[in-house]
């Protein structure tokens, strides 16, 4: 199992605009304990460069676009998020890097737990050591 996949949400459109509902444990495989969003990313900036030990997250680009590279010790994928009805689920022990943010990008993240710095693996060598037996 790769532990990372694209999810398609309902996009309800009418003359007044678009509405996308996202329900925890229904549309996404997690219960949401925290949300945060990333905006105003400087041209050329790369964010991420880490994995989580326990955290599950879903990334949704509400506006603009962003590329997300994900990898485990066996596989690597690049996903382009450019609409508000697609989410990228990222499970534990997946390394992620976010790059090529458009100027107007708004990246919403739904997380399964509260912020905890000790859950992060921010060094790629340590990540490979910890992750290699899990995939």
Q: 50 catalytic, yes or no?
A: yes
Would you give the DSSP letter of residue 76?
E
Judged by beta carbon, residue 10 or residue 124, the one nearer ligand T46 is: 124
Which positions from 109 to 128 touch ligand T46 by CB under 6 A, shown as an x/- string? x-----x-------------
19 vs 61: CA distance, rounded Å = 14
Name the strands in the sheet holding 66-71, side by side, starting at the edge strand that comes first in the sequence.
76-81, 66-71, 95-99, 47-52, 120-121
Q: Does 47 bind ligand T46 (CB under 6 A)?
A: yes
Which positions from 9 to 38 touch ligand T46 by CB under 6 A, shown as an x/- string? -------------------------x-x-x
Residues in the interface with ligand T46 (CB under 6 A) total 10
93 vs 120: CA distance, rounded Å = 9
Phi, psi of 117 (to 5 degrees): -60, -30
Quickly list DSSP for 7-59. EE---EEETTEEE----BTTTBSS---EEEEE--PPTT--EEEEEESS--EEE
Which positions from 61 to 90 touch ligand T46 by CB under 6 A, shown as an x/- string? ------------------------------
Q: Does 48 bind ligand T46 (CB under 6 A)?
A: yes
CB of 10 to ligand T46, least distance (A): 23
Footprint on this chain of ligand T46 (rule: CB under 6 A)? 34, 36, 38, 47-48, 57, 59, 96, 109, 115
**Catalytic positions, written as ranges:** 50
């Amino acid at each position: 199992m790769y532990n990372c996949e694209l999810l398609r949400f309902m996009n309800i459109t009418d003359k007044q605009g678009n509405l996308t509902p996202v329900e925890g444990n229904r549309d996404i495989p997690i219960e949401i304990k925290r949300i945060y969003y990333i905006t105003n990313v400087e041209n050329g900036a790369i964010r991420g460069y880490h994995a989580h030990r326990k955290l599950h997250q879903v990334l949704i680009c509400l506006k603009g676009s962003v590329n997300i590279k994900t990898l485990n010790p066996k596989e690597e994928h690049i996903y382009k998020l450019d609409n508000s009805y697609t989410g990228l689920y990222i499970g534990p022990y997946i390394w992620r890097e976010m790059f090529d943010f458009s100027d107007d990008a708004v990246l919403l993240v739904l997380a399964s737990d509260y912020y905890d710095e000790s859950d992060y693996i921010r060094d790629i060598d340590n990540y490979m050591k910890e992750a290699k037996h899990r995939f």
